[in-house]
């Protein structure tokens, strides 16, 4: 019979009956143990039902509308008091849903939901109660307590926080004249004192826009000095990208979501695209004001886009893990390829419709309300047309063998009805135009949804929404330039965009992961994903701009340095990923702690490299 397991009777210590211990010893004599890997626990299933064979099915709580997967079969007990035992490894990344069925009658015996702990040892006992009359009980017992797999992350966070506090405290001390005089007498070197203050970004010694910045002479509608908040934001996104690409300690929340939803890894790429859009507008405005012709600038834009695409296909290609690059198996889409296409489209649109920044913005210290939007109405019209194309193709393009407008992962999702429909129209377009062999072969949806078809998260259709994301970044750049030195107006507009885009996301998603009209999905680059991440981006700028550029309370260190050399850091970390000192042989390959230390060290090394290059004034620009 079906037994509700809502009470969840868990015993926190090993309290197994003597007959269970004897049976367990006999079982382990025959089969030593199940070898556990990272993010797994051992589950021993004790079947005390006489003559009743059980089939155990498993599902992750994060797998939406998924077919249960057969986990293990357990034969019926042949003798009262001597259960049949089966051992199996279960996932500990998310909560598990276990369903035990009578193998012969195919009816549910019991069902339970539980979050297993990493490397824990559990026993699930299935037996009759009330002298075997009718009811069946399923009791879960903890034989061996799991390890706290999140402890290394907590320790790393606390260490990082302690370093930040120590640096801030030292910076405060160095801002005090008495302490400075004492330091100077102690080391008898003003130069060392100057260098320390310079590195820590002391507001009394450093300008708002960097240590090397010179006092700016105000000129009407002049392009402002390089905004450290923009470079800092880019550096934050880049360093997070490097960390998650190196493995993120092998934690699930530092990996991409299997389908709908957000993890830390899903934040970084769109933020990078957003800041690229801001940089496009700021840099193009500066170049045009210096007298460069639009035709010459168009050539530079085309050449840079071409180089980004070539670097992505030839140098940074995941198919190198299969051996020498084969042109019949080369992956055509990719991160740099998408950046190249997005950069080209957004830059060309801005170049075609570029208008001079009105001098009244600076001379009168005031711009007309919404000038930053109304002056860009041709660009907005183009972006709305692009988004209409995305919506039309996504929801109305007929896909053979799939429902029209399908946004699911395929595989075992949707109860296994559409196993080969991963990504709907987005996946179909890529397979049709590029071919199965030229797109990503190991999508994140394969982890939970067991998809078997190739799917590329940087595919053709999703590029439309990356262009939208970059254009929202352009809007942030226009706010910074049109309302230069009007901090209140800038912050009001950042706040308005943050709230406006956030409300759109709430409406599209119905404040849920899977039940909305258009769920947040990095694999599809859904429009709700773009509005959500853009809302976050405006909020981050809302925080960074006054702290870094206005008040000078923080110089952006250490993120500012990789933000100034982003292409070099990105390409370098991909190319040298497997080389020492970025990677070394671990003593325990199944330890989150060792992976986390290795990934933090590798990421920190790229920050150090970027810092050294910055001091040497070496910048790789394409």
The residues carrying an active-site annotation are 256
**Residues 255 and 268: beta-carbon distance below 8 Å:** no
Query: Which residue in 551, 11, 621, 529 sits closest to 283, CA to CA?
Result: 621
Q: Determine the Cα–Cα distance for residues 358 and 221; give it in Å rounded to an integer.
A: 7
**Helix 566-575 vs helix 335-352: crossing angle, to nearest 10:** 160
Q: Calculate ∠ Cα 105-110-115, nearest 5°.
A: 140
Buried b / exposed e along 434-463 (16+ C-beta atoms within 10 A): beeebbbbebbbbbbbbbebbbbbbbbbbb
**Residues 343 and 305: beta-carbon distance below 8 Å:** yes
Using DSSP bridges, classify how beta strands 108-114 and 121-128 pair: parallel, antiparallel or unpaired.
unpaired
Helix (H) or strand (E) holding 86: strand 84-91
Helix (H) or strand (E) holding 72: strand 69-74
**Residues 570 and 258: beta-carbon distance below 8 Å:** no
Task: Say how many CA atoms lie within 13 Å of 572 toward its Cβ.
Answer: 18
Residue 277 has which token pair?
């859009």
Compute the Cα dihedral for 62, 68, 74, 76 and give only its sign: positive
Q: Which residue has the tokens 């880049």?
A: 238
Helix/strand/coil percent split, the chain, to 5: 50, 10, 40
Contacts of 141 (CB under 8 A, 6+ apart): 10, 11, 14, 15, 16, 122, 123, 124, 125
SS3 readout for 339-377: HHHHHHHHHHHHHHCCCCCCCHHHHCCCCCCCHHHHCCH
Contacts of 437 (CB under 8 A, 6+ apart): 328, 329, 454
Helix (H) or strand (E) holding 233: helix 228-245
Buried b / exposed e along 87-109 (16+ C-beta atoms within 10 A): bbbbbbbbebbbbbbbbeeeeeb
Contacts of 340 (CB under 8 A, 6+ apart): 304, 305, 306, 307, 308, 309, 312
Total length of the chain: 622
Q: Determine the Cα–Cα distance for residues 593 and 588; give it in Å rounded to an integer.
A: 9
């Amino acid at each position: 019979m079906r037994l509700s397991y809502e009470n969840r009777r868990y015993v926190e210590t090993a309290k197994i009956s003597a007959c269970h211990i004897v049976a367990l010893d006999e079982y382990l004599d025959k089969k030593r143990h199940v070898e556990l890997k990272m993010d797994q626990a051992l589950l021993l299933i004790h079947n005390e039902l006489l003559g009743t064979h059980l089939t155990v099915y498993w599902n992750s709580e994060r797998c939406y509308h998924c077919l249960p997967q057969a986990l293990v079969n357990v034969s019926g007990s042949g003798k009262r008091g001597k259960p049949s035992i089966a051992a199996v490894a279960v996932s500990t990344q998310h909560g598990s849903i276990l369903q035990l069925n009578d193998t012969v009658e195919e009816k549910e015996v019991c069902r339970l939901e539980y979050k297993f702990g990493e490397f824990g040892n559990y026993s699930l006992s299935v037996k009759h109660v009330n002298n075997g009359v009718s009811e069946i009980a399923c009791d879960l017992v903890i034989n061996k307590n799991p390890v706290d797999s999140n402890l290394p992350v907590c320790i790393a966070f606390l260490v990082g926080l302690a370093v930040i506090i120590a640096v801030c405290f030292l910076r405060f001390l160095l801002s005090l004249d008495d302490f400075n005089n004492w330091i100077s007498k102690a080391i008898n070197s003003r130069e060392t004192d100057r260098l320390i203050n310079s590195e820590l970004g002391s507001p009394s010694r450093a300008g708002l826009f960097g240590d090397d910045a010179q006092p700016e002479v105000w000129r009407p509608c002049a392009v402002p000095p390089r905004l450290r908040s923009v470079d800092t934001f880019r550096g934050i996104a880049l360093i997070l990208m490097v960390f998650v690409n190196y493995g993120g300690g092998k934690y699930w929340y530092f990996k991409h979501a299997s389908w709908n939803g957000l993890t830390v890894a899903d934040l970084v790429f769109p933020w990078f695209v957003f800041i690229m859009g801001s940089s496009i507008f700021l840099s193009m405005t500066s170049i045009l004001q210096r007298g460069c012709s639009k035709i010459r600038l168009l050539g530079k834009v085309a050449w840079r886009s071409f180089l980004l695409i070539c670097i992505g296909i030839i140098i940074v290609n995941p198919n190198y893990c299969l051996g020498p690059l084969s042109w019949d198996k080369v992956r055509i889409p990719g991160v740099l390829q998408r950046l190249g296409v997005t950069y080209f489209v957004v830059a060309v649109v801005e170049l075609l419709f570029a208008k001079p920044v009105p001098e009244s913005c600076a001379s009168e210290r005031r711009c007309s309300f919404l000038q930053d939007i109304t002056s860009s109405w041709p660009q907005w019209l183009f972006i709305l047309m692009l988004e209409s194309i995305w919506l039309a193709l996504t929801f109305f393009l007929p896909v053979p063998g799939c429902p029209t407008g399908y946004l699911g992962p395929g595989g075992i999702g949707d109860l296994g009805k559409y196993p080969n429909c991963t990504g709907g129209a987005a996946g179909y377009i890529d397979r049709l135009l590029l071919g199965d062999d030229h797109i990503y072969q190991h999508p994140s949806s394969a982890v939970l949804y067991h998809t078997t078809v190739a799917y590329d998260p940087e595919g053709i259709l999703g590029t439309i929404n990356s262009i939208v994301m970059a254009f929202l970044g352009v809007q942030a750049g226009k706010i910074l330039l049109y309302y230069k030195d009007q901090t209140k107006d800038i912050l009001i507009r950042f706040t308005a965009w943050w709230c406006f885009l956030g409300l759109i996301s709430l409406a599209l998603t119905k404040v849920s992961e899977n039940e909305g009209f258009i769920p947040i999905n990095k694999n599809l680059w859904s429009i709700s994903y773009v509005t959500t991440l853009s809302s976050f981006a405006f909020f981050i700028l809302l925080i960074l701009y006054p702290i870094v550029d206005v008040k000078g309370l923080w110089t952006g260190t250490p993120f500012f340095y990789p933000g100034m050399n982003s292409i070099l850091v990105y390409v370098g970390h991909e190319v040298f990923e497997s080389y020492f000192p970025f990677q070394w042989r671990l003593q325990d390959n199944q330890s989150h702690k060792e992976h986390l230390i290795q990934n933090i060290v590798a990421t920190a090394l790229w920050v150090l490299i970027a810092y050294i290059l910055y001091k040497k004034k070496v910048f790789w620009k394409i």
